[in-house]
A and B are shown apart, each in its own frame.
Chain A
Amino acid sequence: MIPQAFDYYAPTSVADALRLLRQHGDDAKLLAGGHSLLPIMKLRLSTPQCLIDLGRISELRFIGEADDGCLAIGAMSTYHDIKNSALVQERVPALAEAAGEVGDVQVQNKGTIGGSLAHADPAGDFPALALALNFELVTATARSGRTIAIDRFFRDLLTTALRPNEILTEVHIPALPAGTGVAYQKLPNKASHYAVVGVAAAITVGDDGVCTDARVGVTGAGATAVRARNTERILKGKHIDAAVIRRAAKRAGANVEDFNDDLHASAEYREHLTTVFAARAIEDALSRAG
């Protein structure tokens, strides 16, 4: 468990980090917590020549409200920060709760929201929540930066829309309309506590009890986290009762291309779990929407 030798940089500003990134190009990896990267480096499955540690860039670690009313979270905010943020607890309690269920205390203390999203582990918890909460991802490059909609972010296994010269700097979570409930439910892998399958749901219900909006994110099931669009369609415009939930949950796996099949769960079981946890997340979200 000794990684190959590498150079280590700990810039204190995004500008410095970008400069280092441009300088080292493909030889460099960004370190944003390290709970995913360092283990694979220790196994020598990843052998970057240089690590640029974003951990000392204080401008990347904040939780606040953006001008447009979005909840803004700096990419280097830890799960611990998110779990304990009064603002997050007030605005999106499900996100604070989920942060408290990631890995263990050590992971929560070091792991970051930006690291989790940029790494795009197929079994990560936050990708499902990011999809359900319609995260906007703000990035920086040496020239400027951009905002990437979460729906266009996860591309493939451990692959995102981020370019090699780009740093994810913050996450914007649009304000939730009144009557919205959010929930995340998962079956934890008993060894790693990653999600075998996890489903996040954000459900908005109008005064008349009709679902006006629904976003459902599924993680753990396939190569990337995906939105369960069929499920959302079934929910929208309906009075959500048990029968609707059942029907909607049944379609939660429809957008998963290939179910993962590994030591921890067969594809068949994962498909089943997707339905089970979709139903649980929807029910839970609905109960919070009132």
Chain B
Amino acid sequence: MIAGQVSKLIGSRVKRKEDPRLITGEGKYTDDVILPGMAYMAVLRSPYAHARINGIDTAQAAALPDVLGVMTGAEVNERCSEPFPLFAILEGMQYPERWPMAATKANYVGEPVAAVVASSRAAARDALDLIEVDYEPLPVVVDMETAADPDTPVIFEEMGSNLCYEASDQAGDPDRAFAEADGVVEARMEQPRLIPNPMEPRATVADYERSSGNATLWVTTQNPHIERMVVAQMLGMPENKLRVVAIDVGGGFGCKINTYSESLIAIILAQEFGRPVKWAEDRTEHFVSTSHGRGQAQYVQAAYKKDGTLLGMKLKIYADLGAYAQVISHVIPTLTPSLAPGVYACRDIGWTTVGVFTNKIPYDAYRGAGRPEAAYIIERVMDLIADATGKDPVAVRRKNFIPKDAFPYETPTGMIYDSADYDAALDKALAIADYDKLRADQKAQRKDGRIVGVGVTVTTEVCGFGPAAAMGGLGGFESATVRVDPMGKVTVLTGASPHGQGEETSFAQIVADDLGVPFDDVEVIHGDTSIVARGVGTFGSRTLVVGGTAIVKANEQIKEKAKLIATALLENKIEDTLDPQLVTLEDGLFSVQDMPDQYVTWAEVGAEAYDGQLLPEDLDPGLEAVSFWEPPGLTFPFSAHIATVEIDPDTGEVSLTRYVSVDDCGTVINPTLVEGQIHGGLAQGIGQALLEQAVWDDEGQLVSGSLMDYAMPFAQEFPMFELDRTVTPSPVNPLGAKGIGEMATISATPTVANAVVDALSPLGVTHVDIPMTAERIWRVLQTHRRGRRGGRS
């Protein structure tokens, strides 16, 4: 192949390399792993949200034919040398120890109590019904605000309260801001708990080699190296004895960051019974065994001036951590006040964040993790101010924007925004939506009795984690190995662990452009700790910006050495000496300027790198580079979104009629992948606004415990999304890229919420909690139709 034919791929709509494999059923998901002699594990889970375990009788279960054995929580925990580690411990926080299983007390419905291993999945499941557990139910703490109340029963007696932490802080002088204000708007806002539902539920396969003590764990994780670190640590095993593999993972959205009990239980059972062990949850089990997201109660006050200026905010945020903190879950709620200023220049903010334990399954990262909750606060506040001052929500936002010449901009909460131009994104969104006409149409439609609304938001978020300081001990780098083989083909090993985002494609695009090799000559490998250099993983919209840059850095080393090899080859061709500095690489060809007919290809360079006969003495053979890159700062993508809705006056049903999404993630490597992230992100954010919520009864039972009861949006419920972008490159990485995995989710929820409240504003409605289900809106209509008064029109 002549390298000169290669076109520039960065910025073009290259089709996903991984798709043919995935859509023809050749993907290698964890549940596809079948090992000789493999047995199956089933996990008995507590049916009580809070109960003492006085005894477990496993005899009947163990006696079933096909059952290899049963282990109780106490037996499994004994095999661990330490409990689950936590990272980024906050000052003054307290937390309960957590072991893989509940041994003496279960603290949420779904907590593992015993595990069976059998020669078939069905037999393992049958055995669960025969395990007898003597539970003694204890008082259940469900509501997060009640949990914080000193009169509420304490879940972990040794802690003395249900508080993980209560942290207050302030920036500037919020009291002064409130004293100087013309008015104050306030609201209590609820962020329901959400249940992440990746297409692929969780699964794990554990294989243990007794002779060597080596273990292999196939697992649905977003971060195999962190998984390996945690599992090895807990089992008292050297890390190099454990291989973690996660080749194809069908989505995660944050719920596959955590190292779950099942990884440990499976290895322990494999060790105990001498057989490889597979466990795969089904969807129903997923609802009570895999971490949830969101879950906050937010008390918001905002001081404003008559001209629409936001002067200051006071926030009190309760966060429902569930029964345990895990990995860095406890830190996620602290991102909410940090991002609460949004895209606005407000400097005076006071906040209190209260992390509480409840008898619910633990909470963790879910697409956005702490930032959607922040964007929701500030974007609802902007509309509350617009309503209070009688101004257009667009005007109020513009009034408060951080100006484009202020970047890099340090927020009062200590974030350093890398780059932005909010007006540009907003202008574009307004133009696409034809905002003035939307408002004119709305006026006319309202005269006809229709309930129609327009929602506008301008949001930002923090991603591309991160400098090490932002990672609490997990590491802030990403690794890349770039290897050129004797045929001149390139293999890239990345420490990131894409699980649907498409980096096999975008990384190959970067390498193809950088080295000038054909896209199809680049293979990207990830998700195997025995193959790739230590990595951190894929979460927090970091893969492209951190992992991609690591590749760029490795490419630099490759190019440098390749030029030395090419120099030797060219010297051999022209039978003369050359200054390596004069050798250039262009479109995949190495040449010197004044001899255009003399060039060498990657195939020649690759072959010589390993043949080595022509290499100068001071040059080692081989052509491979490893790079570990840690970003100097975080990236802050931003977006301007506009939604229109119409409400059925009889049923309260909300129909989304238009959605305009203008997003800025700096340099775009592949527009199709970016748009895919935005489409999916919008769907999740809109679902959160209109449909999704985990519902619990007083006994701590998850009532919305299946997809028949927990409503997620269907594609047919959406209008065609209208996408566009602005491009404001990030200065914190050489690609100029910003993460885009979470931005649309973060923006969509307040955009739709604002549209719905706008629709209802003539009735005097200023806030409605999410999810804005038909019945909730119907009730708002019922209440407010009686006391009808004027509003924004």
> Are A2 and B125 in contact, with the CB atoms below 8 A?
yes
Stretch from A109-117, A174-182, A265-273 at the B interface: A265-273
Chain A stretch 210-229: residues in CB contact (< 8 A) with chain B: none
Known pairs A44-B129, A273-B651; A191 contacts B122 (CB<8 A): no
Compute how far the CA of A2 lies from the CA of B691 in the bound complex, rounded to whole angstroms. Answer: 29
Cross-interface CB contact of B711 among A2, A4, A39, A190, cutoff 8 Å:
A190
Compute how far the CA of A1 lies from the CA of B283 in the bound complex, rounded to whole angstroms. Answer: 8
Task: Give the interface residue-count category, chain B.
Answer: 20 to 34
Compute how far the CA of A41 lies from the CA of B126 in the bound complex, rounded to whole angstroms. Answer: 13
B299 at the interface (CB under 8 A from A): no
CB nearest to A193 among chain B residues: B714
Cross-interface CB contact of A266 among B283, B704, B775, cutoff 8 Å:
B775
Chain A stretch 115-145: residues in CB contact (< 8 A) with chain B: none
> Are B775 and A265 in contact, with the CB atoms below 8 A?
yes
Residues in chain B near residue A272, CB distance under 8 A: 778
Cross-interface CB contact of A269 among B121, B284, B285, B778, cutoff 8 Å:
B778
Contact with B along A253-277 (1 / 0, CB 8 A): 0000000000111100100110010
Known pairs A44-B129, A187-B774; A192 contacts B709 (CB<8 A): yes
Compute how far the CA of A189 lies from the CA of B695 in the bound complex, rounded to whole angstroms. Answer: 16
A161 at the interface (CB under 8 A from B): no
Task: Give the interface residue-count category, chain A.
Answer: 20 to 34
Q: How far is the CB of B732 from chain A (nearest CB, A)?
A: 41
Residues in chain B near residue A266, CB distance under 8 A: 775
Q: How far is the CB of A126 from chain B (nearest CB, A)?
A: 18
A5 at the interface (CB under 8 A from B): yes
**Which of A43, A190, A269, A272 has the most B CB atoms < 10 Å from its CB?**
A190
Q: How far is the CB of B47 from chain A (nearest CB, A)?
A: 13
B710 at the interface (CB under 8 A from A): yes
Residues in chain B near residue A189, CB distance under 8 A: 711
Chain B stretch 264-285: residues in CB contact (< 8 A) with chain A: 282-285
Residues in chain A near residue B90, CB distance under 8 A: none
Residues in chain A near residue B125, CB distance under 8 A: 2
Contact with A along B713-735 (1 / 0, CB 8 A): 10000000000000000000000
Cross-interface CB contact of A1 among B282, B691, B712, B779, cutoff 8 Å:
B282
CB nearest to A189 among chain B residues: B711
Compute how far the CA of A191 lies from the CA of B464 in the bound complex, rounded to whole angstroms. Answer: 34
B175 at the interface (CB under 8 A from A): no
Residues in chain B near residue A5, CB distance under 8 A: 122, 126
B707 at the interface (CB under 8 A from A): yes
> Are B778 and A1 in contact, with the CB atoms below 8 A?
no
Contact with B along A161-176 (1 / 0, CB 8 A): 0000000000000000
Contact with A along B292-335 (1 / 0, CB 8 A): 00000000000000000000000000000000000000000000
Sorted nearest first, the 9 A-B pairs with minimum C-beta distance are A191-B711, A190-B711, A1-B282, A2-B125, A192-B708, A276-B650, A269-B775, A2-B122, A190-B691
Q: What are 16 inter-chain pairs, A to B, with CB distance below 8 A?
A: A1-B282, A1-B284, A2-B122, A4-B126, A5-B122, A39-B708, A42-B282, A190-B691, A190-B711, A191-B704, A191-B707, A191-B711, A192-B707, A266-B775, A272-B778, A273-B651
- Please give the residue numbers on chain B whose beta carbons come within 8 Å of chain A beta carbons, in ascending order: 121-122, 125-126, 129, 282-285, 650-651, 653, 691, 695, 703-704, 707-713, 773-775, 778-779
- Please give the residue numbers on chain A whose beta carbons come within 8 Å of chain B beta carbons, in ascending order: 1-2, 4-5, 39, 42-44, 187, 189-192, 263-266, 269, 272-273, 276
